[in-house]
């Protein structure tokens, strides 16, 4: 916001995540040209980018406001406002935000009857508390994905903050610098007992079609696709340079995605058990692998088994036949020593049942 030859009064505004592109600019959030000024209260000016004074530049007399460089000024604070989901442009305040009930005490009360909050969205004290918490982080930062696609590992934990079971969906998206969102996994449906807080390490594969540059990798929990209860994110980089490996045509997740808490998955893109009355495909482990992986399955009736492995172009790169086996748990070891790194499909046939899943060879 730029002021010239005027005095601008700001009350209950949220000005966040803006960037100036000129190297000599000052105040990525608000900037008052010499002879102009900003005044007002109950504002949040946060995480804006400029070469100097990133959030507020020029003359200002903001009070009871939150901005990163605030030092002094009546009622001002300089902490994180704790937006619900800034990456997804949801600038409502979390229940623990320091901007709640800290606006100008002489301002009109919020709709719920409490002292006014900072920012454009008043926090409603009458709403139900947050019921789920999701937290993610990189395993080996910083993460750079080659132009032809690649994968990385990340930590994920989901906490049921209530004492009763909850059923919900989990899904991942990436957001590029143009604010374009692309779904890269899910949704999968899970149900956690009250108080449960499981954690896992998963592998996210990013397709070659995802744009290059800095990406926000965002994990969501809630009711798919629009009712987000909580989210978590970190940044990754998609390079413009290939690494010589095959091009990856699809984004997906592998690993134990809280499988013991699984319900019916609609549109899921992970390695969950596939089964029929007489057969269960449990998946490959490890996945990603180098150079061998073990494909586990259960027979509930005696049957012969055939394993076929395909590359992303659909060419068969491996076949194994297993003589008829009795019912019970079995496994086949696949050796990819002679294959290049990349994404492969493996198809297991037992009698009339056929199941296909993905695995990733990483050398």
The pLDDT tens digits for 310-343 are 886 667 888 988 877 887 888 889 999 989 888 7
Residue 170: its pLDDT value, please?
93
Residue 144: its pLDDT value, please?
96
Pairing of strands 144-145, 30-32: unpaired
Tokens of 344: 């492969």
Least reliable range by pLDDT among 7-11, 92-96, 243-247, 280-284: 280-284
Residue 348: its pLDDT value, please?
81
**Are the C-beta atoms of 252 and 205 separated by less than 8 Å?**
yes
| DSSP three-state, residue 177 | coil
Is the pLDDT confidence value at 160 over 70? yes
Is the pLDDT confidence value at 267 over 50? no
Q: Which residues contact 154 (CB under 8 A, 6 or more apart)?
A: 136, 137, 138, 139, 201, 202, 204, 217, 234
Greatest CA span in the chain, whole angstroms? 88
Residue 312: its pLDDT value, please?
67
Token pair 């499909």: residue: 345
Residue 225 neighbours by CB distance under 10 Å? 13
Residue 270: its pLDDT value, please?
41
Residue 327: its pLDDT value, please?
79
Q: Name the DSSP class of 21.
A: -
Task: Name which residue leads in pLDDT, 255 or 251.
Answer: 251
Convert the pLDDT of each residue in 129-156 to its tens digit.
778 889 899 999 999 999 999 999 999 9
DSSP per residue, 88-129:
GTEEEEPTT-TTTT-S-TTSPPPTTSSPPPSSSS---TTSPP
Q: Name the DSSP class of 313.
A: T
- The structural domains of the chain, ordered by start, are 2-93 (no CATH), 132-261 (2.60.40.3880), 274-361 (2.60.40.2550)
d(CA 98, CA 70): 14
Convert the pLDDT of each residue in 204-252 to its tens digit.
999 999 999 999 999 989 888 767 788 888 999 999 999 988 888 888 8
Convert the pLDDT of each residue in 57-109 to its tens digit.
888 899 999 987 776 788 898 888 988 888 778 899 987 788 988 999 888 88
Closest by Cα among 184, 152, 180, 344 to 251: 184
DSSP per residue, 234-274:
EEEEE-SS--SSPPP---EEES--SGGGB---SS--S---E
Is the pLDDT confidence value at 269 over 80? no
End-to-end Cα distance, the chain: 50
Which H or E run contains 171?
Answer: strand 166-175
Average pLDDT value for the chain: 84
Least reliable range by pLDDT among 59-63, 133-137, 183-187, 264-268: 264-268
Residue 86: its pLDDT value, please?
83
Phi, psi dihedrals of residue 44, rounded to the nearest 5°:
-120, 120
Mean pLDDT calculated for residue range 146-174: 92
Task: Name which residue leads in pLDDT, 282 or 171.
Answer: 171
d(CA 166, CA 160): 7
Which H or E run contains 299?
Answer: strand 292-299
The pTM of this model reads 0.51
Q: What percent of the chain has pLDDT over 90?
A: 28
- Cα torsion angle, 59, 65, 66, 70, sign: positive
Residue 16 neighbours by CB distance under 10 Å? 22
Residue 177 neighbours by CB distance under 10 Å? 12
Residue 75 — left, alpha, or beta (φ > 0 → left; ψ -120 to 50 → alpha)? Answer: left
d(CA 295, CA 293): 7
Pairing of strands 274-275, 303-310: unpaired
Please write down the HEC assignment for all residues of 57-91.
ECCEEEECCEECCCCCCCCCECCCCCEEEHHHCEE
Q: What percent of the chain has pLDDT over 70?
A: 93
Residue 16: its pLDDT value, please?
92
């Amino acid at each position: 916001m730029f002021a010239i030859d005027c005095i601008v009064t700001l009350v209950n505004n949220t000005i966040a995540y803006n960037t100036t592109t000129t190297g000599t600019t000052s105040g990525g959030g608000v900037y008052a040209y010499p002879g102009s000024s900003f005044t007002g209260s109950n504002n949040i000016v946060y995480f804006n980018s400029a070469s100097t004074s990133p959030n507020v530049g020029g003359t200002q007399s903001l009070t009871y406001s939150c901005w990163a460089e605030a030092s002094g000024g009546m009622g001002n604070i300089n902490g994180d406002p704790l937006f619900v989901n800034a990456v997804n442009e949801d600038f409502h305040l979390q229940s623990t935000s320091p901007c709640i009930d800290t606006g100008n005490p002489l301002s009109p009360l919020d709709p719920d009857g409490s002292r006014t909050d900072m920012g454009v969205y008043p926090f409603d004290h009458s709403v139900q508390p947050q019921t789920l918490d999701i937290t993610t982080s990189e395993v080996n930062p910083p993460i750079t994905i080659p132009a032809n696609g690649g994968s990385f590992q990340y930590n994920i934990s989901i906490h049921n903050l209530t004492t009763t079971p909850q059923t919900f969906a989990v899904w991942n998206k990436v957001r590029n610098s143009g604010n374009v969102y692309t779904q890269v996994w899910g949704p999968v449906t899970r149900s956690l007992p009250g108080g449960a807080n499981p954690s896992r390490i998963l592998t996210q594969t990013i397709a070659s079609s995802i744009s290059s540059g800095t990406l926000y990798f965002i994990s969501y929990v809630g009711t798919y696709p629009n009712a987000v209860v909580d989210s978590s994110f970190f940044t990754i980089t998609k390079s413009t340079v290939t690494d010589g490996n095959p091009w990856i045509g699809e984004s997906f997740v592998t690993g134990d995605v809280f499988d013991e808490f699984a319900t019916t998955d609609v549109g899921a893109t992970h390695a969950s058990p596939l089964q029929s009355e007489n057969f269960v495909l449990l998946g490959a482990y490890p996945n990603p692998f180098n150079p061998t992986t073990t494909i586990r399955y259960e027979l509930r009736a005696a049957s012969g088994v055939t394993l076929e492995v395909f590359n992303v172009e659909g060419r068969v790169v491996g076949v194994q036949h297993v003589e008829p086996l009795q019912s019970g748990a079995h496994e086949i070891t696949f050796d990819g020593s002679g294959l290049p790194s990349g994404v492969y499909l493996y198809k297991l046939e037992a009698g009339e049942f056929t199941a296909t899943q993905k695995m990733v060879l990483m050398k």
